[in-house]
Amino acid sequence: MKRTMHSLGIMAAAAMVWATGPAWASGQGVTDTEIVIGNVLPMSGAAAITGRAAHLGTVVAAAEINAAGGINGRKIKVVTEDDGYVPARSFQSLKKMLADGMFALIGTSGNAGLAAMLPVLEEEKVPTIVTLSPSLAAVNPVRPNIFMLGASYEDMLFAQLKYIKENRSPKGKLGLLRQDDDFGNQVELAFKRAEAELKVETIPPIRFKRGQSDFSAEVLKLRSSGIGWLISGGPVVETPAMMKELMKYQLNIPVTSVPTGMLAPVVKLAAATGMNYFSADYVSTLDSEGTAHFRKLATQYLSAAEQADMSRYSVTAYVSSLLMFNAIKTCGKNVTRDCVSEKLASNKNVDTTGITPPLSFGKDHIAAKAIRVIEVMSTENKLVERTPFAEY
Amino acid sequence: MDYLLNITASGLVLGAMYGLIAMAFSVIYKTTGVVNFAQGEMMMLTAYIAWSLGMTLALPFWLMLPLVCVIAALIGGLVEYAIIRPMMGEPPFAIIMATMGLAIVIRSLTILLWGVNAEGFDASVKGGLLEIGPVVLFSEQVFALAVFLLVSVGIWAFMRFTRVGTAMRATALDESAALLMGINVRRIHSLAWAISSIIAALAGVCFALAFSRSPSMWFLGLQSFPASILGGLDAPLGSALGGLLVGVSANLSEGYIGQGLKEISGFVIIILVLMIRPYGLFGRRDLERV
């Protein structure tokens, strides 16, 4: 009896080893036939417009590489978890995906969500490309497995200000209306840099709370201070709301915005003001020659409804996917997280099919720092690229 | 001088929207004793319905507006009948929680049906610039002020001169006595919810015309609640005035002081007023607060 129990114990232990063995392997998100790439994105809630678009970018990239036979014989599987733009849910989503087996991460939600996930990503050594919302906190200090695509808001706004100063000769002082949070802090860095480097006259920054719709008092205050050009430090619909007030007082002045200013709903709202404005990006615009290859893939792999949801966030996610796939490919058959992180750091001049100049992650783990200034012709629903890609 | 006048005028417009929603809070509370924490969401839902009627079905504004009022009344009546009435007699906390739950349901439902994008609301009353001396206002802002004035006068006249309005006041004063006098209290409660919903719908339409219809519109309800407390939660006209005070004080404090005072100036006034008159500027002294 004792011997039987002993044998059963050994069999049970063997069964557990058998059962947990493959689970451990898949816990890294790599099997002989598949590599799992994860996204934690806002697929619902107010920021869903960005999250859904980014998800589509990774889907297109995975479909393209799978159609070409995968990476060294392994197919790419994209798994996206919805965090609703809530940091606690970002963390939970990441833990769930890691438990289910995820190899690398591309969709990293907003800055607060990323901050919640960073300790786990670092501990688990998950190769990660911060894509949705560039955050310097992710790469400062540099972590071996964390990389970032895209220039900072500071650089993107400064590029616009430099272009406006050199080409539009604004008459009056530079003003800033900024959200009272971390995003606004980043925007204000551009304002301070313009003050110091472009030697422009400025009006003290005006802060507003998140969710504010009415900017009547703020714009009147700017008008009385002699505003000549304005930095919009609102993340989405605040820019058209500010422009509407500017229009009320016939202040047809240059306005700068962060890349969300180029999203279709924002452009549509701005069109009602009849004003054009500026934005900047580190990827080519969705309707430009630079994204022709991506658009062709999108028509091939996405439904018409999905294509309608695409935006610059689809393009940035596609570019990040290309960088990640390139690193995985150069690791050969022996794909490990350490190897992929190392290759992400060392691979140079990765082709992004014309969306950006060839990309490399520098010592600072940031790629795509070259920016292009774009004028948003709101009434014509057109984005016009005003400068070539350049670093600022 | 034109700076002061323009800042005040813009503050009045914003205050008019706060005031309308504050009035909606107050009409329900005065009659039924319930604080409807889904007021902002009901405003948002009806604004979305108005947008669909005006933009998707392309109904003319003069037809869309009364139709939205009818729909809003039905929604208000339905909420009272299906959610609030079965809970009558339950602790106030339970009813408050039910309205909070309703708020979350409406928020999710709105996103589910209309998506997450903000959209502009074009209408015949929109787009013009009106100059009244040095003051510049959009035509939709003037429309919001006009709606505020009409609703305020209408509510006052309704409560003061109509039999139903008198019955509502009687119910507010003493529900048992009203019942004994033959007033159908249940019907009065339904009516209060319907009227409140119509006022909120008008506020929603004004807001969507002035800015956009977006899933964050419900936040206006949260911003308007203090106005109702300031004016008196059981005083519809007082609440309306509270809205104007909050709107104007917010704009003046931003215009002359800044430093983020726009958001807190209204609350500073509320604290000061409640320290002197705990029942609000126009509220009744025996008001029981929850």
Q: Do residue A190 and residue A271 come from a single domain?
A: yes
**ipTM, 2 dp:** 0.86
Tokens matching residue B166: 């008198």
Q: Which residues from chain A sit within 8 angstroms of residue B7, using beta carbons?
A: 216-217, 220
Residue A22 belongs to a domain: no
Query: Does A241 sit within 8 Å of B211, measured CB to CB?
Result: yes
Position B97 scores a pLDDT of 92
Residues A135 and A264 in one domain: no
Nearest residue in B to A43, CA atom: B116
Number of other CB atoms surrounding residue A28 within 10 Å: 19
pLDDT over 80 at A9, yes or no: no
Contact A180, A235 (CB under 8 A): no
Decide if B3 and A220 are in contact by the 8 Å CB cutoff.
yes
CA dihedral A48, A52, A54, A60 (to 10 degrees): 180
Question: What is the nearest CA distance from B78 to chain A, expressed in angstroms?
Answer: 27
**A12 pLDDT tier (thresholds 50, 70, 90):** very low
Q: How would DSSP label each residue in B119-154?
A: B----TT-S-EEEETTEEEEHHHHHHHHHHHHHHHH
Are A316 and A381 in a shared domain?
no
Summarize pLDDT for B161-217 with one digit per residue, the tens: 999 889 988 888 788 888 888 888 889 999 999 999 999 999 999 999 999 998 889
pLDDT bin (cut points 50, 70, 90) of residue A21 is very low
Q: Does residue A11 have a pLDDT over 70?
A: no
Calpha distance B255→B24 (Å, rounded): 29
HSE (CB half, 13 Å, CA atoms) of A55? 21
According to the model, what pLDDT value does residue B257 have? Answer: 87
The 10 Å Cβ neighbour count of residue B17 is 30
Note which residues in 137-176 of chain B have CB less than 8 A from chain A: 137-138
Give the separation between CA A129 and CA A344, rounded to whole angstroms: 9
Q: Which residues of chain B lie closer than 8 angstroms to A49, CB-CB?
A: 116-117
- For residue A173, count other CB atoms closer than 10 A to its CB: 16
- R_g (Cα) of chain A, nearest Å: 23
In the predicted structure, residue B272 carries a pLDDT above the cut 60: yes
Rg (CA), chain B: 19
Alpha-carbon distance values, A17 to A12, A99, A164, B238 (Å): 9, 17, 65, 73
**Cβ contact B11–A213 (<8 Å):** no
- Per the CB < 8 Å rule, is B255 touching A208? no
Q: Do A220 and B212 touch (CB under 8 A)?
A: no
Closest Cα in chain A, distance from residue B238 (Å) = 24
Q: Using a CB–CB cutoff of 8 Å, tell me whether B263 touches chain A.
A: yes
Contact B21/B221 with Cβ under 8 angstroms? yes
* Yes or no, beta carbons of B11 and A216 under 8 Å apart: yes
User: Looking at the domain assignment, is residue B234 inside a domain?
Assistant: no
DSSP calls for A81-144: EE-TT-HHHHHHHHHHHHHH---EEEEE-SHHHHHHHHHHHHHTT--EEE-SS--HHHHSS--T
Mean of the per-residue pLDDT values of chain B: 90
B126, two tokens: 């929109």
Please judge whether A217 and B251 are an interchain contact, meaning their C-beta atoms are less than 8 angstroms apart. Answer: yes
Residue B171 lies in a domain: yes
Residue A27 has a pLDDT of: 54
Q: In chain A, what is the straight-line distance between the N-terminal and C-terminal CA atoms, in Å?
A: 79
**Using CB atoms, which residue from A46, A216, A268 is nearest to B215?**
A46
Evaluate if residue B287 carries a pLDDT over 70. no
Q: Look at residue A12 and tell me if it is in a domain.
A: no
Residues of chain B positioned with their CB less than 8 A from the CB of A213: 207, 211
Expressed as residue numbers, the domain containing A96 is 31-151+287-361
> Residue B285 falls within a domain, yes or no?
no
Q: CA B262, A222, A261: angle at the middle one, nearest 5?
A: 85
Does residue B51 fall inside a structural domain?
Answer: yes
**Optimal mutation site among A176, A213, A311, interface B, most CBs of chain B within 10 A:** A213
| Rounded Cα distance, B130 and A161, in Å | 33
A267 Rama class: left (phi>0) / alpha (psi -120 to 50) / beta: alpha
Judgement on whether residues A244 and A381 belong to the same structural domain of the protein:
yes
Name the closest residue on chain A to residue B207, using Cα atoms: A213
- Among candidates B240, B230, B236, B289, which has minimal Cα distance to B265? B230
Q: Are A378 and A277 in contact (CB under 8 A)?
A: yes
Share of chain A above pLDDT 90, in %: 77
Structure tokens at B105: 């349901």
- Which of B7, B129, B207 shows the shortest C-beta gap to A248? B129
Closest CA to B12 of B204, B206, B165, B156: B206
Sheet containing A104-108: order of strands: A75-82, A34-41, A104-108, A128-130, A146-149, A366-367
Q: Which of residues 10-39 of B touch A (CB under 8 A)?
A: 10-11, 13-14
CA A358 distance to own-chain centroid: 18
Q: In this structure, is residue A229 part of a structural domain? A: yes
Buried residues in B98-107 as b, exposed as e (16+ CB within 10 A): bbeebbeebb
pLDDT higher than threshold 70 for residue A19: no
Q: How far is A317 from chain B (nearest CA, A)?
A: 21
Question: pLDDT value at position B270?
Answer: 82
pLDDT of the residue at B88: 82
pLDDT at residue number B112: 87
Across the interface, whether the CB atoms of B260 and A268 are under 8 A apart is answered no
Residue type, B43: M
Strand duo A206-208 + A173-179: pairing: parallel
Give how many domains chain A has, as a whole number.
2
Does B95 fall in a domain? Answer: yes
Q: Count of domains in chain B?
A: 1
A227 and A321 housed in the same domain: no
A-chain CB neighbours of B211 within 8 Å are 213-214, 241
Q: In sequence order, what E strands does A246-293 have?
A: 255-256, 277-281
The DSSP output letter for B289 is P
The residue that leads in pLDDT, B234 or A386, is: A386
CA of B244, closest CA in chain A: separation in Å?
15
Backbone angles phi, psi at A377, to 5 degrees: -85, 85
Indicate whether A168 belongs to any domain: yes
The Cα of B76 is separated from the nearest Cα of chain A by a number of Å equal to 26
pLDDT for residue A124: 94
Q: Which two tokens stand for residue A6?
A: 């002993």
B28-52 average pLDDT score: 93
Of B119, B216, B252, nearest to A211 by CB-CB distance is B216
pLDDT (mean) for A344-349:
95
CA-closest candidate to residue B48, choices B128, B108, B8, B131: B108
Nearest by CB to residue A265, choosing from B119, B207, B216, is B119
The closest of B217, B175, B213 to B192, measured between CA atoms, is: B175
Does B92 fall in a domain? yes
Classify residue A143: in a domain, yes or no: yes
The C-alpha angle with vertex A57 and arms to A51 and A63, in degrees rounded to 5, equals 135
pLDDT band at A180 (very low <50, low <70, confident <90, very high): confident
Residue A214, CA atoms < 13 Å, CB-side half-sphere: 31
pLDDT in tens, A114-136: 999 999 999 999 999 999 988 88
pLDDT band at A324 (very low <50, low <70, confident <90, very high): very high
Residues of chain B in contact with residue A217, where contact means CB-CB under 8 angstroms, are 7, 10-11, 250-252, 254-255, 262
CB contacts < 8 Å between A and B, how many? 77
By CB atoms closer than 10 A (0-12, 13-18, 19+), residue B238 is buried
Helix (H) or strand (E) holding A232: strand A227-233
Contact A56, A317 (CB under 8 A): yes
pLDDT value of position B281: 81
Report the range out of A102-111, B145-154, B210-219 with the highest average pLDDT: B145-154
pLDDT tens digit string along B105-116?
999 899 889 988
Q: What sign does the dihedral A238-A242-A248-A252 (CA atoms) show? A: negative
B231-252 pLDDT, tens per residue?
888 889 999 999 999 999 999 9
The neighbour count for residue B132, using CB atoms within 10 Å, is: 10
- Would you call B251 an interface residue with chain A, using a CB distance cutoff of 8 Å? yes
Q: Which of A207, A218, A269 sits opposite B118 (nearest CB)?
A: A269
Q: Are the Cβ atoms of B211 and A218 closer than 8 angstroms?
A: no
Instruction: Name the DSSP letter for residue A261.
Output: G
Instruction: Choose among B237, B215, B218: nearest CA to B227.
Output: B237
Q: Which strand ranges, in their side-by-side order, compose the sheet holding A227-233?
A: A206-208, A173-179, A227-233, A255-256, A277-281, A372-377, A382-385
CA A120 to CA B89: how far, in whole Å?
A: 50
Report chain A residues whose CB lies below 8 A from the CB of B137.
248
Q: Is residue A46 part of a domain?
A: yes
Q: Round to whole Å and give the CA distance between A234 and A245.
A: 14
In B, which residues are within 8 Å of A208 by CB distance? Answer: 262
Residue range of the domain that includes B46: 17-229
CATH code of residue A105: 3.40.50.2300
Domain-embedded: residue B117: yes
| Closest approach of A391 to chain B, Cα-based (Å) | 32
Report the SS3 class of residue B209.
helix
Q: With respect to residue B5, please indicate whether it lies within any of the assigned structural domains.
A: no
pLDDT given for residue A4 in this prediction: 46
Task: Clarify whether residues A264 and A292 are in a common domain.
Answer: no
Annotate B232-278 with three-state secondary structure: CCCCHHHHHHHHHHHHHHHHHHHHHCCCCHHHHHHHHHHHHHHHHCC
Residue A368 within a domain:
no
Distance CA A384, CA A170 (A): 20
Does residue A184 register a pLDDT over 70?
yes
